[in-house]
Structures are given as C-alpha cells and as structure tokens.
A and B are shown apart, each in its own frame.
Chain A
Amino acid sequence: MESLLSVRGLTKSFKGNQVLCGIGFDVIPGEVLCILGPNGAGKSTTINILTATLAADKGEIRFEGKSITGNLRAYKQQLGIVPQDIALYEELSAERNLRFFASLYGLRGSRLDAAVEEALVFAELVDRRHDQVKTFSGGMKRRLNIACAIAHHPTLVIMDEPTVGIDPQSRNHILESILRLRDGGTTVIYTTHYMEEVEAISSRIIVLDHGAIIAEGTKESLKESIASERHCLVEVDVPETTSDDTTVLRSVRESLFSVDGVKSVSIEGATIDVTSVAGIENVDGIVSAIVGQGLPIKNMTSVPVSLEMVFLKLTGRKLRD
C-alpha cells in the first residue's frame, strides 16, 4: 500500500547536539502509528518537523507522494495537530474557539457551521458550547483541544501526548474518539507516555531512542521479538530482624544466577523480578535458590510479555523515566 506520509533521512541538531540521526519511516493510510521513546529520544523534535513548525537540517518528507517543500500550504490543509499543551483561547466559548480555528482552514458559511456542530458533538460539548473555556474541567479542555484539530476533517492527525494530566474517564473518551477517527479513515500519528494507550489504539509502533528508530512493527510483532524470555515475579518476606538485608539479597541474586536459564535478576524492595530463557523448566530451581537463602516466598507470578517489557528491553529504561 502506498504511504500517506513518507519520511526519509530526517536529521536535526541543536547547538551541535544531534537530536535526530537520519530517521525514516512510512505512515500507512488509516493506521494509528504510535511513536514511543523515553524523554529526550527525539519524539517532540520529530513531531515539530512533521508539523512544519521546525525545519530539519536534512531529510525529506513526502505527503501523498509529493515533497512538502513547495507544497506546504496544501500539506498543512490536510493536517490536524493536537499539541501537548492546551492551545485554546480561555476567554472565548468552545464554539468561538472551534469557529475561529476551523476558519483558518478556509471553512466559511454553512460548511463552517456544520464542521463546528460536528466537532462539538465529537467532543461531547454541545451543552457547554457557549461557556467560556476557562470554566471547563481539564478533561473537557483536552477534548476541545482535539476537536479544534479535527473540525476541518484532516487526512492526517498528529497528536502529541493529548491525554496528559486527565482523569481515566476523559482518557477513555479520547481513546475511543481516536478509534472512531481511525474507523472513519483518518490516519493518526500519536505520541504518549502511557503504554496502556499504545496497547489500546496502536496499529503500528515506532520506538525512538537517542534520535534513532530502534524498533518498528505491530504490538504483536514487538512482543514476539522478546517472546524467547519469561518473567517471573517473586514476592518474598524479608524478616525485620535481618541485620543486613543487602547481604541477604546479594546472596539471593548470586544463587539465582546459578540456576539454569536465568538471564537477569532485579530486586526492588521485597519483589524479585527474574528473567529466564523460555522453554527451560527452572521454576523449582528459582524457588530453591530463594528459599535456600532463608527468605520465605509470599507470592509468585508468571508475567506475560507486555509492551512495557519490550520497551525496557530495547531502551534499558521505563517509558516514564
């Protein structure tokens, strides 16, 4: 399938510090492409270049086969952008905000009226249409922030962490609305710090780290890439009378590494996370290694592979670090 957006060799430096190292990717029509990466990975720089707000040092962006250089106006006409911060006039009503921002895309008269009406329904703000934005809750502002970006029916919507700081109910509403957009044929590029959102909406994922793409694929294929590992969480009872916890836990770590198939051990408080090679039946060995050091086991769980694990494996950091 032909790409809607094609990015090639995107490079950007700030004061000699290279933030993007020639990244390239394609966006397929109708997909929700999630861009993941720890802080400083280059996500925002990528988004700012895609929105034509920031110029790249090198590289090319093609939209529907045409370079956006020289076709910037046509490209922007097809874009809907949801910035990370609330970008609304607080003193104006929801309807006035929608009307103004939609008018910047050339909508006038009955087309503008219809677009505003549709966007108000989308954001579930029909009842509050005449109220000033400053009287809205955080979730309502976030919904309106998205509605302002889609009122003109863009082909491609770019969302930069649109759910920061809102309640779970509003987050669910936003995620559902993104899926509705996708079902309606809109393509979405989405960045987030919440892995559960990626699980819920992504068609495909790009993992950025240190300005380079280190993994790309569907969530299933990314999970498959670390399916050769198995995680086991063991909760132990560290006796209060133990004089030197560190010594005991160090001994446990050493014992666990002597068990066949164990690849890594991390200990946080009373929880021990053991990663071992899949297919090797070593649970009894893990149990013996822990109990043998005098630590009673309170609970033991086998953890299914998650995107969080994939991310940790690829970048060495948790997404929200």
Chain B
Amino acid sequence: MRDFLPIFEMDVRNLFRNPVLIGYNTVFAGGLILIMGWLMGDSYARVSDAYQYYAITLLVYGTFSGAMTATNCFMERDIKKPNLRIIYSPAGGSSVWLSKMLASFVFDYALHIVLLILCGTLLGVTFGSNPLAFIVLMAPAELLGTALGTFGCCVLHSEELASTVLSLVVSLLCVLGGTFFSPDALGGPVATISLLSPVRWFDDAFFAMACDNDLSSFWPVFLGCSVAIAVLVIGCKHFFRTEDYL
C-alpha cells in the first residue's frame, strides 16, 4: 500500500493534466447529450424526455468508454517511458496496472458526476427519488469500463491495438444496448439480442431508478458487475507482462 499510493497519486494527476481526456469526458459527452436530445426531441412527447433518455444512455456510454481512459493511462506514448521506471523499482508489479485501473476509475467517475449534476441542473434531467443510489450504481459501471481497458492492454500488449479493439467492442455493446435509440422499437428479435449487452442492463436499471423510483435492479446489476470486474482483475494479474513496457 505504501508503494501503491505514490504511483496512484501520480496516475490521477497525469490524467487530470490531460486536456483531451477531460474534454472527451465532459465537453464531448455533454455536447452529445445536447445534440442528440435536440435532434430527437420530436420523437418524444416532450423535449425534456429526449434529454432524459440521452443523458442516461450517454452517461452509461461514457462509463464504458472509460476503457479508453484506462488504455491511455496504461500505455500512452508520453507516459510509457516514465512508467518503465516504476517497473524497475521495487514497487513495480501489480501496483502498476492496479493503479492505472483505479486512477482511471477516479478520473472518469469524478467527471461523470459533474456531468450528471450539470444535466440535472441545466437540462432538468431527473435521477429518481434517490439520486445517491444512482451515483453509487455508476461506480461499478465506471470500474467495469476501466477494468476492461486495463485487461485489454494486458492481453493485447499495446495501447493502440487495445484502444482500437475496445472502442469497437464498446460501440457495439452501446448500439446494441440502446444508447442512441431504443432497441425495443426495432422489434422482438433485436430487443431480445440487446439483453445480452451489459449496457442494456445498466440502462434499464438507471431508467427504473430515475423514472419509476424502482431500485429492484440495483443489487443484481451491482453484484453481476462486481463479478465481471473480479474476473477482469484476475485476468490482468495473469496476463500482465513487464516487458510490454520495453
């Protein structure tokens, strides 16, 4: 733990010094909510319903896109070499990937909470009678995204390759999960397939909490996600190789 903290602190600082990542998680995500809500406003009873839908689905999209934050934090060109020094030190080992995973989680989670507050304040998006539960359930989603990104780097041994593959996977899961349009509108088979996407599970749980004050999905999604995170963490431990930094 003594070794871990300086590395974790440095990783968090590095992320908050990265304007591209900050922009992607706030301005880009916020802009996307505004544009999609405005464009699709006519398809909903009220424009505010469109903002409600896209604020939640794009927030889930953002949490899963945390995979790319993790790949960046893990192996991005400018920080790969200084990271090699961490590998050289007695602290090098599991602390390296664990720190990247948790730092990316903290970074994404903090920015997405800010975005959530802005959506509530400026666009009138509601998060149910218990917004705290909503924010708590965001945590495993964020961690699942960053764990996926870290796992991708450990398995594929390259930031570029991991980012490309994961961006495709996340986009596919999100389209399937109903990020941009409801899969239910496309008929029975598509709606059934969409249930395979974890994005859909989160979307459904968040909509139930925000619109119906229904917390029944909280624990199943929370626990299911925790199991997936545990599997990815074990995978990172198994596949991580220090020579990938050479």
Interface residues, chain A, with chain B CB atoms under 8 Å away: 48, 51-55, 73, 76-77, 79, 81, 83, 85-91, 97, 100-101, 103-106, 148
Known contacts: A103-B6, A104-B89. The answer to whether A54 contacts B246 by CB under 8 A is yes
Contact pick for B90, options A48, A77, A89, A97, CB 8 Å: A77
Contact pick for A51, options B10, B81, B86, B88, CB 8 Å: B88
Distance in Å: Cβ of A308 to nearest Cβ of chain B: 29
Which 3 pairs, one residue from A and one from B, show the smallest C-beta to C-beta distance?
A104-B89, A87-B81, A76-B90
Which residues of chain B have C-beta atoms less than 8 A from A86's C-beta? 81
- Between A and B, how many residue pairs show CB distances below 8 Å? 63
Which residues of chain A have C-beta atoms less than 8 A from B6's C-beta? 100, 103-104
Does residue B243 face the partner (Cβ distance < 8 Å to A)?
yes
Task: Decide if B243 touches A53 in the complex (CB within 8 Å).
Answer: yes
In Å, the complex CA distance between A56 and B79 comes to: 26
Cβ contacts A to B, 19 pairs, < 8 Å = A48-B246, A51-B88, A53-B242, A53-B245, A53-B246, A55-B243, A73-B90, A81-B85, A83-B84, A87-B81, A90-B78, A97-B82, A100-B10, A101-B85, A104-B6, A104-B7, A104-B86, A106-B2, A106-B3
In Å, the complex CA distance between A232 and B12 comes to: 63
Interface residues, chain B, with chain A CB atoms under 8 Å away: 2-3, 6-7, 10, 14, 17, 78-79, 81-82, 84-92, 242-243, 245-246
Distance in Å: Cβ of B102 to nearest Cβ of chain A: 17
Which residues of chain A have C-beta atoms less than 8 A from B81's C-beta? 83, 85-88
Distance in Å: Cβ of A171 to nearest Cβ of chain B: 21
Task: Decide if B78 touches A53 in the complex (CB within 8 Å).
Answer: no
In Å, the complex CA distance between A79 and B91 comes to: 13
Which residues of chain B have C-beta atoms less than 8 A from A55's C-beta? 243
In Å, the complex CA distance between A97 and B14 comes to: 13
